[in-house]
Chain A
Amino acid sequence: VSEPPRASPGQGAEDGQTYEAAAARVEEIIRRLDSGEASLQETLALVSEGKGLIELCAQQLTEVGDALEELRLDELVSRLEHEAGA
């Protein structure tokens, strides 16, 4: 029996959206807006959605851009156990 795949690699716990999905949706939104075919209401909705997704992407980029954190496996296990105990 194979180990079940993780729910979604790179998935943000609070938003449920992966970076790749968010980035792809942003590109799709910009293509739609650039086409000039979106109505005013749709444009405003797409801009609002796009801003949210960009914030999400920026947040995830920030999380992997501050400082490299190197851990040994046993250190990670100890930390997780400590967090679980706390």
Chain B
Amino acid sequence: MATPATPVRAADEGIPDSGLAGPFAVGEYAAALRSKLRSFARVQLVGELVNLRPSRARVYFELRDATGAVACAAWREDWEAIAARAGEAPAEGMQVVVAGGCDYYPGSSTSSPAFSFAVRDLRVAGEGDLLARIERLRKRLDAEGLLEQQKLLARPLLPRAIGVITGEGGKARDDILAGLRRRGWSGRLVWGFAPVQDRHAAPAIVRALGDLAAAAQVEVLIVARGGGSLADLLCFCDETLCRTVALLGVPVIASVGHHTDRTLLDDVAAVSCSTPTHAAEAAVGVDCARARVEMAAAAARLAGHGRRALQPRAQIAEAAGRVREHGRRAVLSRARLLATLSRAPAAQLDRQRSRLHQQLREIRAGSRRRIADERLLGGRRALVLERKGTSSLHDCRERRPRELAQLSLALAAHDPQRTLERGYALVQALDGKSLASAAAAGQARDLRIRFADGVLPARVTDR
């Protein structure tokens, strides 16, 4: 390369004892470098298109193969002409042939310099070796059954702790928090920050996965990145990372790619989501706010069933209560009756005793009156008897003998013997019956005739 024309001022002298030319002003050197690079022969390069970054004026990308890479840039109008000619815009991972030459942007005091291979033309040559390698690895993992291991794990609907691996300053972090808020989830969130791009990313992610999975409280893991080119996502096609995820006992939710670029991590993970927000919603399978409402409704329905089921029992209990009340009243009534009855003998005895005492008093009083009366009556009777005795004695002594004599005389006057003695006779039948008429005597025929001095038999012979 030719040296710049003018050396720097004496004040900016070079390194002592250095044999090299200069120092030269860097701007001049950069301009000389650009001239030199532009002088290189224009050639065609073949490689895999990665890290495609369109900008307003130019399209930047890299061309890679197994041994090296070159930064490339194309003017926007050239790129659009290439796409129009090919029928589609060249995409990540494509094997392409580019035509052009070296160029160098010298930069300035406010902008960085950059080398690029200035692409003037491009032809799509095939799918690309990088994608082919990824596809071969995918088939190998599939053949080993590693694409299904994570999908066999049970994912909790409601994890209490979630582990997240993402870049510390990335937008994915905010998206995950937003997704969890939408689920109404406020559990424990453990961040395992790790680089999610470049060659250091995969080993760091593997370490973070192992550490988070070892924490027994973490029930689900999210690996998230906020999108990027295929080159940015290459770390998520790392074989060690994919095998680690496949063999983890904790379900992993991947959210590192997008609809067009699917990484191997998306294939081995339990779930693959297009955005970190969706990954958060996949990690919490239930809308917590709605679940709380549904649980309250379920509790109310259960309570309703319980009340309806217990209604007959309540009715029975109510009836039993009424029966018990009736029983209680009956017992109370009986108790009162028994109490009354238990008190009754005493009262009855009292009444009887009083009555007996009264009767006794009455009897005593009666007796006294009776005795007095009897005594009075006895006195009177005694007096009467005395008088009667006196009279009887008089009778016995005087009047009775006289009366007896008179009676004796009267009796003697009526004695039939005395009649017989006066010459009368008494006609009797043989049986002693007096016959007071001739007819009776004639009918009896055999007679007895009684005289005062004896009896003669007689017979009626002629009537």
Interfacial residues, chain A to chain B (CB-CB below 8 A): 1-6, 8-10, 18-20, 23, 26-27, 29-30, 33-34, 40, 43-44, 46-47, 50-51, 54, 57-58, 60-61, 63-73, 76-77, 80
B residues in contact with A64, CB < 8 Å: 158-160, 185-187, 284, 288
Asked whether any CB of chain A lies closer than 8 Å to the CB of B153, the reply is yes
Query: In the bound complex, how far is the Cα of B191 from the Cα of A10, in angstroms?
Result: 19
Asked whether any CB of chain A lies closer than 8 Å to the CB of B223, the reply is no
Interfacial residues, chain B to chain A (CB-CB below 8 A): 149, 153-160, 163, 177, 180, 184-193, 208, 211-213, 215-217, 219-220, 246-251, 284-286, 288, 291-292, 295, 298-299, 301-303, 305-306, 309-310, 312-313
Query: In the bound complex, how far is the Cα of B246 from the Cα of A77, in angstroms?
Result: 24
Query: In the bound complex, how far is the Cα of B216 from the Cα of A57, in angstroms?
Result: 21
Q: List 16 A-B contacts (CB under 8 A).
A: A1-B247, A5-B153, A6-B216, A30-B298, A40-B312, A44-B306, A47-B302, A47-B306, A47-B309, A54-B298, A54-B299, A64-B159, A64-B185, A72-B191, A72-B192, A73-B191
Contact B188–A69 (Cβ < 8 Å)? yes
Beyond A6-B249, A23-B286: 16 further Cβ-contacts under 8 Å?
A: A1-B247, A3-B213, A4-B249, A9-B153, A9-B154, A9-B155, A9-B159, A20-B157, A26-B295, A51-B302, A58-B292, A61-B288, A64-B160, A68-B185, A69-B186, A72-B190
- Would you call the interface of chain A mostly helix, strand, loop, or mixed? helix
Contact A73–B211 (Cβ < 8 Å)? yes
Task: Give A55 Cβ to nearest chain B Cβ, in Å.
Answer: 9
**Which of B180, B184, B301, B313 has most A Cβ within 10 Å?**
B301
**Which of B163, B208, B292, B306 has most A Cβ within 10 Å?**
B306
Query: In the bound complex, how far is the Cα of B301 from the Cα of A43, in angstroms?
Result: 12
Contact A65–B215 (Cβ < 8 Å)? no
A4-B249, A10-B159, A33-B305 given; A71·B188 CB < 8 A: yes
**Which of A3, A19, A64 has most B Cβ within 10 Å?**
A64
Query: In the bound complex, how far is the Cα of B302 from the Cα of A34, in angstroms?
Result: 10
Task: Give B242 Cβ to nearest chain A Cβ, in Å.
Answer: 14
Residue of A nearest to B313 (CB): A40
Pick the contact of A65 from B163, B213, B288 — CB < 8 Å? B288
- Would you call the interface of chain B mostly helix, strand, loop, or mixed? mixed
Pick the contact of B184 from A19, A34, A50, A65 — CB < 8 Å? A65
A residues in contact with B298, CB < 8 Å: 26-27, 30, 50, 54
B residues in contact with A54, CB < 8 Å: 295, 298-299, 302
A residues in contact with B306, CB < 8 Å: 43-44, 47
Task: Give A62 Cβ to nearest chain B Cβ, in Å.
Answer: 9
B residues in contact with A9, CB < 8 Å: 153-156, 159, 219-220, 250-251
Pick the contact of A6 from B184, B219, B313 — CB < 8 Å? B219
Task: Give A8 Cβ to nearest chain B Cβ, in Å.
Answer: 7
Contact A3–B158 (Cβ < 8 Å)? no
